[in-house]
């Protein structure tokens, strides 16, 4: 059971080692990296490559750790009791399973994605320590212990908005997805758009990396934006020459809206481009 | 197995624990590294390092342990050549430029420097050729050659230099100092202004009881939103130069602020606020943010906290072009006044003990601009400052 990347996902060596170590030792893998470098995609691709079902647990600022285990719906039980419903006698009717329980209870091993763990409250990871470590938890209402039949492969992503507690980190493998270099980027583009002309890719990458160098951008364009942009370029059938025409009158690359997502960034870029043009004019 | 490696990592202050070490060994036992150095490197990194900010430290230790490379004991720092050149072009007089030419220009100077660094084995002091301290060779610290390039001198020698002709090794303010931040956290907690907002997901017990009674005993649940911290803070931190002595205190403040406030933006400046600030001190020359942009981006409901010793030559505040590192079109005080005008709630925290303030004119000026809202960086001072901000 080895992860080698897939036909639609380029995995670097270090990423493969980290993923395989996490799979073999059955520890969670914590993935960090710039937004848009494929953290969430990684879980999808691992599930696809290993032919396992994927369970997704997307974390929001209001998510509590308990929700991943189970929720006891006391309110509807109370209502039912007042209405004299028969269901009320069995407490199990009011326990809703969370994603972790689903993963633990599955018949084969599954891939569990805990997405953007840093969005939740600061105590959230601490509340999951034992559950992720031993892959079991206790249900107080029914006095039963849920234990994983097969330890799931747990992928946790973080956008670095909060520091994660040390105790939590100690239990994980860690991988930081670096922004891909030119060669890797070319491979990524080739995987996604195999029929794209070579020159177009080269010119597009030139423009792309130049754009990333512009100082002060609020959100630097990342891999996913590049792929979208190239898709657009292909759909519009824009010739490579149009991209190369940087030193001519054209200052903004065509369809730049796919790369710059922020009004201030577009404005900043336009101003810089204008200045550059004026300098050349002199 | 690899005990040495583990201990070296600990020594280099990479936060590794026994548990992670055992995990690595377990992975090795399972044959995860496949007996390749590169794979082993990736594997040990994934198992032992849990934050990308420690990657660099880890790489250095790994290189030392497994290749037998010597770490540089004496702090020899790499000098950003471009920066030196740019600074020289701006600040040197024509004669001085000619002097540099006498040694063959910048390229030559840097090349000679590199060569000598290689030739030289140990620490050196005095003399006129080797790189060391207090000599007349152009290379080294505390020297008098106008072409001097400063190497490994980690403190400013003279605090009130009008033009600091020194390369400074700025530190990126790490926010991982936890020791001693507890007190600051408690003080910062005063800033919390709790407001109910967001989803109604908390049971409002008194309201539920009343409502149920109104409902003739039928349960009627009333929910309400949680209380959240709504305070937004803009933090401007002075870095480098005379602040070197206070970096630790600032690190602690920074670390505490991170944990305590949800909306916190920080920017660095040097000595006094001018038209540019920056977020990452390592890239301060390439990635700066215009101060106007900061003032336009963050609304007037932000609270502004300056942290700096305000110890500089008064020219740096009062006159245009007074900055030690670049030509500023507008005087520092203009910028400070702009900030205090936009943000009603602004304070200055000063790590220098309060009893020394009266002896430094620049502190008096800044204090006056801030409307006397300058506080010492002590628990008491912080409490006062937070009370001012929370009003």
Q: Are residues B250 and B271 in the same domain?
A: yes
Task: Report CB contact under 8 Å: A176, B52.
Answer: yes
> Of A170 and B127, which is predicted with more confidence?
A170
Task: Report CB contact under 8 Å: A27, B23.
Answer: yes
Where is mean pLDDT largest: A32-36, B29-33, B89-93, B134-138?
Answer: A32-36
pLDDT in tens, A170-182: 888 998 888 888 8
Q: Are residues B137 and B33 in the same domain?
A: no
- The CATH number of the domain where B252 resides is what? 3.40.50
- How distant is the Cα of A198 from the closest Cα of chain B, in angstroms? 32
Task: Report CB contact under 8 Å: B43, A21.
Answer: yes
Of B136-140, B307-311, B364-368, least confident by mean pLDDT is: B136-140
Task: Report CB contact under 8 Å: A216, B290.
Answer: yes
Of B50, B55, B198, the CB nearest to A172: B50
pLDDT of residue B71: 40
Q: Are residues B265 and B150 in the same domain?
A: no
For the stretch A74-81, contacts whose Cβ atoms lie closer than 8 Å and that sit 24 or more positions apart, written own/partner, are: A75/B219, A75/B221, A78/B219, A79/B219
- How distant is the Cα of A197 from the closest Cα of chain B, in angstroms? 34
Q: Are residues B85 and B57 in the same domain?
A: no
Other beta carbons within 10 angstroms of residue A264's beta carbon come to 15
Task: Report CB contact under 8 Å: B219, A18.
Answer: no
For the stretch A245-248, contacts whose Cβ atoms lie closer than 8 Å and that sit 24 or more positions apart, written own/partner, are: A246/A207, A247/A280
- Give the best residue of B19, B50, B225 to mutate against chain A (max A CB count within 10 A): B50
**Would you say residue B361 lies in a domain?**
yes
Is the alpha carbon torsion for A235, A240, A243, A249 positive or negative? Answer: negative
Task: Report CB contact under 8 Å: A174, B17.
Answer: no
Of B55, B199, B259, the CB nearest to A62: B199
Global pTM value: 0.53
Strands B303-307 and B232-238: parallel
Task: Report CB contact under 8 Å: B50, A78.
Answer: no
Which residues are paired to B227 by β-bridges? B196
E strand segments, A17-120: 29-33, 54-58, 70-72, 95-97, 111-115
Task: Report CB contact under 8 Å: B38, A13.
Answer: yes
pLDDT of residue B192: 62
Q: Are residues B44 and B109 in the same domain?
A: no
- How distant is the Cα of B99 from the closest Cα of chain A, in angstroms? 32
pLDDT in tens, B226-264: 776 667 888 888 877 677 777 777 777 777 777 667 778
Q: Are residues B245 and B365 in the same domain?
A: yes
Q: What share of chain B is helix, strand, coil (3-state, %, to 5)?
A: 45, 15, 40
- How distant is the Cα of A30 from the closest Cα of chain B, in angstroms? 8
For the stretch A202-208, contacts whose Cβ atoms lie closer than 8 Å and that sit 24 or more positions apart, written own/partner, are: A202/A240, A203/A240, A203/A243, A203/A244, A204/A229, A204/A230, A204/A233, A204/A243, A206/A243, A207/A243, A207/A246, A207/A253, A208/A259
Which residues are paired to A70 by β-bridges? A97
Instruction: Mark which residues 239-298 of B lie under 8 Å from A by CB.
Output: 258-259, 286-290, 293, 297
What DSSP element (H or E) covers A145? strand A144-147
Task: Report CB contact under 8 Å: B27, A215.
Answer: no
On chain A, the residues whose CB falls within 8 A of the CB of B49 are: 174
- What is the average per-residue pLDDT within B317-327? 80
pLDDT of residue A30: 92
Instruction: Mark which residues 21-60 of B lie under 8 Å from A by CB.
Output: 23, 26-27, 30, 32-33, 38-39, 42-43, 45-47, 49-52, 55
Task: Report CB contact under 8 Å: A173, B38.
Answer: no
Q: Are residues B297 and B365 in the same domain?
A: yes
pLDDT of residue B112: 61
- How distant is the Cα of A176 from the closest Cα of chain B, in angstroms? 6
**Would you say residue B96 lies in a domain?**
yes
Of the candidates B375, B365, B157, the one whose C-alpha atom is nearest the C-alpha of residue B272 is: B365
**Would you say residue B174 lies in a domain?**
no
ipTM over 0.90: no
pLDDT of residue B170: 30
Q: Are residues B85 and B20 in the same domain?
A: no
Instruction: Domain count for chain B, please give it.
Output: 4
Placement of tokens 């860690």 in the chain? A174
**Would you say residue B307 lies in a domain?**
yes
> Of A277 and B299, which is predicted with more confidence?
B299
- Give the best residue of B40, B46, B291 to mutate against chain A (max A CB count within 10 A): B46
On chain A, the residues whose CB falls within 8 A of the CB of B262 are: none
Chain A, nearest residue to B17 by Cα? A170
Q: Are residues B290 and B336 in the same domain?
A: yes
On chain B, the residues whose CB falls within 8 A of the CB of A164 are: 50
Per-residue confidence band for B159, with pLDDT thresholds at 50, 70 and 90:
very low
Cβ(A139)–Cβ(A95) under 8 Å?
yes
Which residues are paired to B347 by β-bridges? B305
**Would you say residue B176 lies in a domain?**
no
Chain A contact for B202 (CB, 8 A cutoff): no
Where is mean pLDDT largest: A191-205, B321-335, B362-376?
Answer: B362-376
**Would you say residue B371 lies in a domain?**
yes
Q: Which residues contact B159 (CB under 8 A, 6 or more apart)?
A: B242, B311
Percentage of residues in chain B with pLDDT exceeding 90? 0
Which residues are paired to B270 by β-bridges? B272
Per-residue confidence band for B131, with pLDDT thresholds at 50, 70 and 90:
very low
Q: Are residues B59 and B90 in the same domain?
A: no
Chain A contact for B216 (CB, 8 A cutoff): no
Q: Are residues B201 and B108 in the same domain?
A: no
pLDDT of residue B331: 86
Q: Is B31 left (phi over 0), alpha (psi -120 to 50) or beta?
A: left
**Would you say residue B317 lies in a domain?**
yes
Q: For chain A, which residues score pLDDT lower than 70?
A: 1, 244-252, 276-282
- What is the average per-residue pLDDT within B206-225? 82
Q: Are residues B7 and B19 in the same domain?
A: yes
Q: Which domain holds residue B32?
A: 2-65
**Residue A56 φ/ψ, nearest 5 degrees:** -110, 135
Cβ(B103)–Cβ(B149) under 8 Å?
no
- Residue A45's Cβ-count burial label (10 Å; 0-12, 13-18, 19+) is buried
**Would you say residue B20 lies in a domain?**
yes
Q: What share of chain A is helix, strand, coil (3-state, %, to 5)?
A: 50, 15, 35
- What is the average per-residue pLDDT within B44-68? 78
Of the candidates B193, B200, B174, B180, the one whose C-alpha atom is nearest the C-alpha of residue B302 is: B193
């Amino acid at each position: 059971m080895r992860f080698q990347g897939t036909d639609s996902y380029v995995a670097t060596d270090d990423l493969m080692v980290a993923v395989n170590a996490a799979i073999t030792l059955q520890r969670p893998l914590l993935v960090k990296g710039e937004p848009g470098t494929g953290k969430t995609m990684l879980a999808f691709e691992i599930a696809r490559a290993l032919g396992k079902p994927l369970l997704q647990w997307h974390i929001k600022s209001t998510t509590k750790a308990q929700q991943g285990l189970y929720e006891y719906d006391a309110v509807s039980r109370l209502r039912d009791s007042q209405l004299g419903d028969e269901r009320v006698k069995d407490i199990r009717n009011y326990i809703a399973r969370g994603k972790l329980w689903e993963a633990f209870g599955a018949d084969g091993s599954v891939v569990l994605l805990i997405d953007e763990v840093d969005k939740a409250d600061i105590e959230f990871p601490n509340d999951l320590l034992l559950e992720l470590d031993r892959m079991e938890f206790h249900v107080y209402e029914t006095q039963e212990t849920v234990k994983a039949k097969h330890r799931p492969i747990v992928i946790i992503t973080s956008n670095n908005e909060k520091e994660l507690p040390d105790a939590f980190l100690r239990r994980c493998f860690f991988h930081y997805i670096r922004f891909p270099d030119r060669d890797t980027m070319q491979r990524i583009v080739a995987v996604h758009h195999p029929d794209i002309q070579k020159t177009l890719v080269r010119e597009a990458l030139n423009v792309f990396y130049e754009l990333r160098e512009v100082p002060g951008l609020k959100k630097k364009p990342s891999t996913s934006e590049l792929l979208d942009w190239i898709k657009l370029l292909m759909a519009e059938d824009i010739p490579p020459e149009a991209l190369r025409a940087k030193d001519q009158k054209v200052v903004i690359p065509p369809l730049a809206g796919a790369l710059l997502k922020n009004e201030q960034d577009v404005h900043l870029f336009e101003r810089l481009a204008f200045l550059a043009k004026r300098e050349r004019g002199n | 197995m690899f005990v040495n490696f583990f201990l070296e990592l600990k020594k280099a202050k990479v936060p590794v624990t026994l548990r992670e070490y055992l995990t690595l060994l377990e992975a090795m036992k399972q044959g995860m590294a496949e007996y390749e150095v590169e794979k082993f490197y990736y594997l040990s990194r994934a198992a032992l390092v849990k934050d990308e900010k420690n990657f660099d430290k880890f790489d250095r230790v790994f290189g030392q342990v497994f290749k037998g490379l010597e770490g540089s004991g004496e702090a020899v720092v790499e000098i950003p050549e471009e920066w030196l050149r740019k600074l020289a072009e701006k600040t040197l007089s024509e004669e001085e430029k000619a002097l540099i030419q006498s040694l063959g220009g910048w390229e030559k100077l840097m090349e000679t420097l590199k060569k000598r660094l290689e030739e030289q084995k140990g620490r050196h002091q005095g003399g006129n050729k080797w790189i060391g301290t207090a000599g007349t060779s152009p290379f080294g610290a505390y020297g008098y050659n106008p072409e001097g390039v400063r190497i490994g001198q980690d403190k400013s020698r003279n605090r009130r230099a009008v033009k600091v002709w020194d390369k400074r090794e700025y530190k990126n303010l790490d926010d991982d100092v936890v020791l001693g931040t507890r007190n600051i956290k408690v003080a910062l907690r005063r800033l919390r202004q709790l407001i109910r907002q967001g989803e109604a997901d908390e049971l409002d017990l008194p309201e539920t009881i009343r409502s149920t009674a109104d409902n003739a005993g039928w349960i009627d649940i009333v929910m309400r939103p949680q209380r959240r911290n709504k305070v937004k803070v803009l933090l401007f931190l002075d870095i480098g130069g005379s602040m070197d002595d206070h970096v630790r205190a600032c690190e602690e403040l920074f670390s505490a602020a991170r944990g305590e406030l949800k909306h916190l933006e920080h920017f660095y400046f040097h000595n006094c606020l001018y038209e540019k600030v920056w977020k990452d001190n390592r890239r301060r020359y390439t990635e700066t943010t215009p101060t106007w942009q900061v003032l336009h981006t963050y609304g007037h409901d932000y609270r502004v906290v300056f942290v700096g010793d305000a110890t500089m030559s008064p020219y740096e505040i009062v006159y245009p072009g007074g900055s030690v590192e670049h030509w500023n079109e507008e005087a520092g005080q203009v910028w400070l006044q702009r900030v205090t005008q936009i943000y009603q709630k602004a304070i200055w925290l000063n790590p220098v003990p309060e009893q020394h303030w009266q002896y430094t004119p620049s502190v008096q000026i800044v204090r006056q601009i801030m409307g006397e809202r300058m506080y010492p960086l002590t628990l008491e001072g912080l409490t006062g400052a937070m009370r001012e901000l929370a009003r």
